[in-house]
Amino acid sequence: MEISEQLRCLFSAEVEARDGSYVLDVPKRELETGDLREGQPYRVAILPTGTDATSDGNEPETDRERDRGDGRVRGRRDPPVEEGEHRTVEIEDMGEQGDGITRVERGYVVIVPDTELRERVEIEITNVRENVAFAEVVGREEHYD
């Protein structure tokens, strides 16, 4: 499955019946740390969770765990980064506290202090949580087109 670069957030939610309709609640953190704005329209995609299986009892191909490259396996729900990992990223947004925000696989948010909007930096992941990671700048790229 290919995921669009326009992905703004990714979270799990249950479909609930409410007043004759079915609704999904968007977690408050997605508006606080992401590009979502209250009252704005968005396109929503619904994907099965990892508990869904194919008719032969196996998980769908896109939901299988993948090799991390070091012999360990990263599960579907694990963050797509790990502590000590280095990446080159572009700062896509600025948080309310002035920290840079970038997104990596599946729209996972990484907070990077001491950066500027659209700056391209090499980072080291320093702290990984379920929904967000924190990183430090280890290198800055010169201006690029």
What are 76-88's pLDDT values in tens digits?
Answer: 568 999 999 999 9
pLDDT digits (tens, 9 = 90+) for 9-68: 777 778 888 899 988 888 777 777 767 788 888 888 777 665 444 444 444 444 334 444
Q: Which CATH class is domain 79-140?
A: mainly beta
**In the chain, where are the structural domains located?**
79-140
Which of the residue ranges 22-26, 67-71, 92-96 has the most confident prediction, judged by mean pLDDT?
92-96
Burial class (CB within 10 angstroms; exposed 0-12, middle 13-18, buried 19+) of 77: exposed
d(CA 14, CA 142): 45
Q: Is the pLDDT of residue 91 over 70?
A: yes
Strands 132-140 and 109-112: parallel
**pTM of this prediction?**
0.50
Structure tokens, 114: 């001491």
